[in-house]
Structure formats: structure tokens, C-alpha cells
Structure 1
Amino acid sequence: MNAITIRGVVKNYPNFTLGPIDLAVQRGELFGILGPPSAGKTSILKLILGLVKPDSGQVLVGGVDAGEMEVAERQISMVFQNLALFPHMSGRENITFALSERGLSKKEIGRRLDAVSDVLHVGHILHKNPAQMSGGERQRIALGRALAPDNRAILLDEPIAALDARLREEMRVELKRLQRTKNQTFVYVSHDEEEVMAIADRVAVIIDGRVAQVGAPDDVYNRPNTISVATLVGSPPMNLFHGWFSDDGRHFECGKMVVGVPAGSDVPAGAKGILGVRPEDIHRATNGSGQEIGVSSIEPLGGYTIVNALLGDQLIKIRVTGQLESPDDYTRSVVFDARRLHLFDSEGDRLGTK
């Protein structure tokens, strides 16, 4: 049975309509929701939690229709983007507040506090108020408050967005470890694709209030089903070429560029189409027979370098392992990895195989 199921949910706002949304989150899964700002990600969490009621459709929690459930009855915790800790309470009081409100015994509250403290390594800061804590410490206390009630699921709304880059990386690892240790159901929302793709078991891509694609991170990255998903997932984004499929369906043509279409591809021969290739799938041509480019600049980023180049009159980005000293260090001819080309029709939908 799924921990959370959303069936045909629609929520109308004055200038925005969310849905229809269909999603299923499995028990013990770290489910990511990815999308640009204002795509409707936080609204989905509020629908799950019960803070917002759908105009149509159903939200099921543990297989039961949650339409008439109060927020507390759903037994779901949420970590908000601003963490929302009580500033006048210590870390210990923040974590145990919900347990006290439920009327648990002091012994049970102590047991749960000890268990959460061990997992999150916060025993040494339980006496502090939030103002005395670092960003990472406040994050752990907020997670502790969500974990202590032992609820069905925990919803996380961009919980580490306000932290610096190094601390975000550390917290990503910590969240994954925590979720695995507790075998807890997490629903993790972020607009940062690297963040979601790094930790999620499955990802739902939300664009303009709709579910654009759901799948494992590798599937979403390697087989995006629309142009919108292809450009949202991946950094730098996928290079896109607008052109035509040849009459025999064996080549894609864009200006002077001619690229062979992978065997078995089901393309509309003689029709407009779009070819996509990721920056890491463009390589140096070894025999000089590739596509001619003009390198305009490079971006050294430590372990890899981004090469900005012109192919015809189109700017493309190429990801190269290692470092380059100057634009002159890169080749003037490139080839595309034929095994990793992405083909779309003129409407931006992925083309499959025969």
C-alpha cells in the first residue's frame, strides 16, 4: 500500500490552476518533487498535509481518503523552508512540543528524544535556543521535531535552500542517511535539480502546475519525455537544435549540420523536429570529420570545464573533464555521442523507437 496517493487533484487559485495531479508515494521512499519556482510544488505538500483542500480529486493517506481528516489525524510532519522553530524554546522543547501536546508520558517523550538525538547528533545543542544555533543546527532540530512523532511521512519544503553550498552538500548526505536509517517516507521538494536528483529514489517533475514526468532520477535525466523536462534537468542544460528529419528518416539537419539518426528511431520523415544533446555527450572529433565549432570562452570549474562554442550560429555548451588553460586548448571539431541523442517532435514531445 502507498503511503500517500493523489488522484486527479485540482486546486484553483486566482491566477493559477494546479493539476490535475496524480502521484503515488511508496512507503519508505524518498520521493522528490522538482520544478521551477511557482510551479505548484509547495501547494502539493499543503494538499498532502491538509492545510489546503482540493477543489476536486482525492488525497489518500495510508490508503484512506483524507478528505474529512484534520491535519493532526493525517499523522504527517512537515519541515518548512523557514524551519518555523519556536524562538523562545530550547532545542529540546522544540523537538518534544508535539509529543507533549499528544499527551505522551514523560518516559516515552524521553525515549523518543534520545532516539532522535542519537540519529541527528544534536544532544550537545538541546539546551540552546534557535538564535544560539548555526543554520545546520537549526536544520537538525527542525528535522528532529518532524521525526519525533514517528508519523506516516515527513514533508520537506526546500529545507536546506537557505544554507551555504558546503553545508547543503553535508545536509543532503545527512538527509539520505537519516531516511535510510529510519526507513521513513520522505517527500522532498526543491527547485534545485542537483539536490533532488542526488537523494531521491523517484522524482516527479512539476511544470506549470502539472506532472510532466515521474521516474527514477536516471530515467528522468537520460530519457526526458518533453523539451521542458530536458532543459530543467541537467546543468548546463541540454543543447537543442531545431531542424528537419530527412525524407528517409535517417538524418537530422539543422543548417549545415547533418547528424545521423540512431537506428530504430521512430521519427516523422521529412518533418520538423528537435535534436537534443547534453554537454557531456559532445566529444572531440579524432579524424576531423565532425561538426566544426568556434570556441568563444571557457569556464574552469575545478574537476571539469565548460566550453562555450558556436556551431553555425548557435551557442552550445560542452562539458570537458579536467581543466583547460585557454579556449585555444580545445578542438575545432566535435562529434555527438550517437548512443545518447534525444529526439523530439516539433511540439517538444520525445520520439521513441519503432
Structure 2
Amino acid sequence: MKILQYGMLAGILILGAVCVTFGTRVLAFGPAATVHYKDRGMTGEQLDELCEQQRQEKEEKASLPGQQGAGQEGKELPDITGWYRQEEQNAENPALNIETQTDRIGVWGNMRDVLPGELLAGSYVNSLDEEGCVISSALSEKLFRSTDTTGCTLRVDGKEYVVRGIIAGSGQILLNRAKKTDLLCNLEFRYQGKEYSTSAVRDFLTRQGLTNYDSLLEGGLYAGIAGIFLGLPVLVLAALVIRRGWKRFRHYQVRILPRNQTVSFLCQLAGILSIGCLLALWFWIFVRFPADYVPAGVSDFEFWIVKFHELSVDRQKLLNYQGWYQEAYLLGSLKQCMFGSLGSSLLLYLTARR
């Protein structure tokens, strides 16, 4: 019997660790939204000019009389990362005479945000390094028969790159710095303000005349769902503790307190309030969705109909685009988080029942 209990406890800890590990990966994309265009976008030069222009406008507004600190919270400028993707590029290792196909991604901005995953060795390429690249572990194994290949040279469509870093990934992918004149068809916006919402991204794109995007990936939606499952084992554990405490209280109530309707009513009211406080606390800590998903009124059913329609349309567009690495990463991490959450919650319940 003790062996079984210890086994269930170990399962709870392992599944809980899985839930937390993959859930935090999803939460990292909470302040981000990514748009994809087929034949439109912006160049790196345009992005730099736009960010500089917005920075100057914000400084000018902040310097006006009576504007210092007023309305600035939650309205920080977004960090914008752009990239383009070229499929099935010829990659070769001249030293070993090995050739293969790879997807090449030209990045302008933070390379870490483009291809999520663990950096196994080396570092990402800085903004001035046009000769460096970061390759996936799958491409490294294919070309070099090893993942310890930082400093090695490879050739993609006749241009040589030096490997600066290796990132975990099953697909054959190479990341390099885009030129400032390259058209970036994918744009990721990261808002660090407290009032982030995808409406801010849509407003930004409207001002730039880039409203006809093909798909939109909302990191805040995935992070909100992940938050619910991250908090589920905590909710189950707290409910089990309250349940056991309630049973003990009822046991002592029979011995100590007088048995009448008033006392019974007060005890039941205290139990209901405890459950309500627990749910409110759990909701306040773990359930965090972007402002776009918070209706003006609880009974605003039309809001949910419109929102579900928008989500289904965006989801269909995402399914039609096969090269969405972030989508696959977020979906995979969210599934692992859900598996760990539901598994640990079930084991918690079964352990308490024994």
C-alpha cells in the first residue's frame, strides 16, 4: 500500500513538473502577437525608421506640460521582430561533401523569438554579423553528423555561413540575419505594457496600411489557456484541503457546538464563502486573458459569438499556412501542459480518496 502511495506521489510531482515546464514556455508568449503576409510586409529599414519615429513622438508628447507620466503606463512601444522564410534551400557541407535541403529564415530583430526552442550550444547571431547563422540540431546532425558544430562552415545556395549556435529542433532550419532591404513577411509584436491586447496590434497595422494580413497568432490567448491549466492542480489541492478541514470541523461541531438550525446555517454559509474565496483567488491569480477577451458585461452573448467567429477564421488561416513554427511550438507546449495538469490533478484526487 505504501509503495502505491509513494508511486502516486512521484507521479504527481513528475506530472506537475511537466505542467509547469511547458506552461511557462507558453506564458513567455503572453505579450506577443504575430502576423503573417504572403506577399506584403515591411523591410528592416522601414521597421527601424518607424520605431524611431514612434519613439520621438512619444518623447514629444511626454514633454508637453501636464503630460509627464500621464497615461503612459501600459502604452510602451512594441518590440518588433520581422523575418522571411525560404523553403527547401540547398545546403551543403563542403568538407564532408554532404548535401541536403533546409528552410532558411532571414531575421531582423530578436532572433530568439522567431524559432522557439532550447539553445543547445553557442549563441544567437548579433545584428552586425552577416556571416553567422544558427541551425537546428536536425540540420547539424544531417550535415556534420554532430550537434557540436559551432564554428563550422556550411554553404546555402552558394553563400557560406559560419555556425554560431545550435537550437533544438526536429526540422532542418537555418537562421541568419536579414538585410535591411529584404521584405519581412512575418512580424511579431511584443508589448510589455499591462494593457496589452491584439487590438493594439491591429491599430498599429491599420496606421501602416498593412491590414490585409493572412493570419494572426495571439500569444495572449495561448497564455490564458495555459494559465488555467497551471492553476488546476493548485485548485484541486486547495479543494481537497478545504474538504478535509470541513470534515474535521463537522466532527468537532457535533461534540462542541449546540445542534440547532442557526449554527448549521452559519457553518454552511462559512463553507460556501470559503469556496467562493478560493475560486476568486484562483481566478485572480491564474486566469489572465488579453483585454480583447473580456466582455463589457457578463451577459453579453453577442460578444462571444463574434469572438468565436473571429477565432475560427484565424484558426483556419493558420492551418492553411504550413510554415508556422511558433504555432506548432505553442500547440505542442500547451498539450504537454494540459496533460501534466490533468494527470497531476487526477492523481491528487485519487490519492486523497485512498
TM-score bucket (shorter structure): under 0.3
Q: Greater helix percent: which structure?
A: 2
Q: Greater strand percent: which structure?
A: 1
Q: Which has the larger radius of gyration?
A: 2
Higher relative contact order at CA 8 Å, sep ≥6: structure 1 or structure 2?
2
- TM-score, normalising length: structure 2: 0.21
